[in-house]
Chains A and B, each alone.
Chain A
């Protein structure tokens, strides 16, 4: 129980640090009215907007009222169009979730089986070609992969749309762009986790008891090899979200990432802060879920934590 409370407390502190860090850095970067309003506007109008956006008060007062509003779920209004910042961001969430979700499925669906094959047939040609492909996969910058795909499939072969998000055809290239480097990474992690497990003495026991390859891999090796892979899955959330920002920009996919690059260019403080907080929250949650899954998959962690708590 104490273990759980510590985790939650840590997550809350991390969130608070992110909010504070983002708030102060963005506020100290200059007066948004200088960027958002035309140059030739008179000072009175500027003051009006400063008051409207709450920029005229001391920064600490702004900070406390921002925190207070946040706790009530109020992320402020977009400087651009006076709409609720959270509403603007929330509308884009399904698109980003669809993109990252599909990419994650692709990467796990390709990476894990390849990793297993490579480990089971270690040092064979299967292993070598999987490892070679995976080095190529994660060396390829995703923005360049996206551009290559557009060149080949949109401009040359003319079979897939290069931008937008109307149909499932629009999803193929962005999801592949985002998923392939993760597939390569998961193939590597799965392989090394499997090799670790396959060398364990209980695998020899299973073999001596006469269990076939399929049974040994599926029942004895996989559950144990899953533990490190799940951990890495949690760590990769941040990378996945960062990759989504780039992928969405390359393919003009109308998700959070594209909103962020636009909002950042327009200095829309409220929207940028809202997106950063939501992304940080996603990461913190993903890490917490990973921790819990870890304890669930590996009873040793649970027992260890309980012993530590006593």
Chain B
């Protein structure tokens, strides 16, 4: 490596460090919290002190440690069957994060693909896809999902499909608009003039150029997807026992508010901090990528 190149690399590294130290404290905290959540999502099974469904009937409903009646066997307390709250929280966070990530990404891919198709084909295809977008937007999807899950039963595939169908229409609408305007810009026209095939132009040139607003939409969509999952699980329809998610834990803990408030409050606070962190990150990202959208 020549000297010039290495100094460029170093300069860049310092620039990254400087930029990190310029981060507002709230954004730093939010990013840190989300990093921890992602680690839990990947390593939950390794971190848990007990199996999340391990029953310990001797130590039922023990409170977290500073409270009276707590035990160091379960420093964060146990639920009504003596299952370790911390282990359950880890696994529940893993489930909720995985589902929200999967739901957000599937919805984004579906919406972005349909947005491209609508913009490219135009005519009947455009009408049809935008009609579907309007239909999806006019449907009370949460309520439809509630009925579908109740009637179609406890199936993971159906639940993930329902999550994927939540919010795709926004991506489709945004993508279509962005593609229509990007297509007419100089660079796209130039590549088309050089004989680039449409697929090549869309994937290699237009998609990277419009990825900013789409990424912002992704961060906006993630908190609502996690709320969608936890709400359904809270009502007992999404993730059901023996599996657990943050919403399912909260729904279970709701029955013990009087004598074990922490069973509901701890998973509830976790959901709250996840949505809060993602909202803060999304706002920040929006300000960075597209100052005109800042509100």
Contact = CB atoms under 8 A, between A and B. Distances in A.
Do A and B belong to a common assembly? yes
Interface in B219-274: 223, 227, 230-231, 234-235, 237, 247, 250, 254, 257-258, 261, 264-265, 268-269, 271-272
Contacts of B138: 14, 18, 238, 280, 283-284, 287
Given A147-B254, A264-B147, A141 B140 contact: no
Give the 5 A-B residue pairs with the shortest CB-CB distance, closest first. Answer: A192-B295, A242-B142, A144-B268, A29-B151, A139-B276
A25 B151 contact: yes
Contact of B257 (A140, A147, A260, A275): A147
Contacts of A17: 135
Given A14-B134, A272-B151, 20 more contacts: A25-B148, A29-B152, A135-B280, A141-B227, A147-B264, A151-B261, A189-B295, A238-B139, A238-B140, A242-B140, A242-B141, A242-B231, A246-B231, A249-B235, A260-B147, A264-B146, A265-B150, A276-B143, A276-B144, A276-B147
A49 interface: no
B53 interface: no
B126 interface: no
Nearest to A150: B257
B151 A141 contact: no
Contacts of B142: 238-239, 242, 245
A191 B295 contact: yes
B137 interface: yes
Interface in A207-249: 235, 238-239, 241-242, 245-246, 249
10 contacts: A141-B272, A147-B268, A188-B295, A238-B140, A238-B141, A242-B140, A264-B150, A264-B151, A276-B143, A276-B144
Interface of B: 134-135, 137-144, 146-148, 150-153, 223, 227, 230-231, 234-235, 237, 247, 250, 254, 257-258, 261, 264-265, 268-269, 271-272, 275-276, 279-280, 283, 295
Interface in A123-149: 135-136, 138-141, 143-144, 147-148
A10 interface: yes
Contacts of A26: 147, 151
B279 A272 contact: no
Interface in A257-281: 260-261, 264-265, 267, 272, 275-276, 279-280
B257 A30 contact: no
Nearest to A32: B151
A289 interface: no
B206 to A, nearest CB: 27
A261 B144 CA distance: 12
Contacts of B258: 155
Contact of A155 (B141, B234, B257): B257
Residue from the set B137, B138, B148, B283 with the largest chain A CB neighbour count within 10 Å? B138
A181 B10 CA distance: 46
Contact of A261 (B146, B247, B257): B146
A250 B254 CA distance: 9
A138 B279 contact: yes
Given A17-B135, A279-B143, A143 B234 contact: yes
A195 interface: yes
Q: How large is the interface on A (under 10, 10 to 19, 20 to 34, 35 or more residues)?
A: 35 or more
Nearest to B283: A135
A22 interface: yes
B250 A280 contact: no
Interface string A274-300: 011001100110010000000000000
A3 B221 CA distance: 32
Contacts of B269: 144
B135 to A, nearest CB: 6
A241 B279 contact: no
A264 B147 CA distance: 6
Interface string A182-193: 000000110110
A140 B223 CA distance: 10
B124 to A, nearest CB: 16
A8 to B, nearest CB: 14
Contacts of A188: 295
A191 to B, nearest CB: 7
A144 B146 contact: no
A147 to B, nearest CB: 5
B235 A261 contact: yes
B210 to A, nearest CB: 22
Contacts of A195: 295
A22 to B, nearest CB: 7
Most chain A CB within a 10 A radius of its CB, from B143, B153, B269: B143
Contacts of A280: 138-140
Nearest to A193: B295
Contacts of A136: 276
A18 B139 contact: yes
A188 B220 CA distance: 14
Nearest to B294: A192
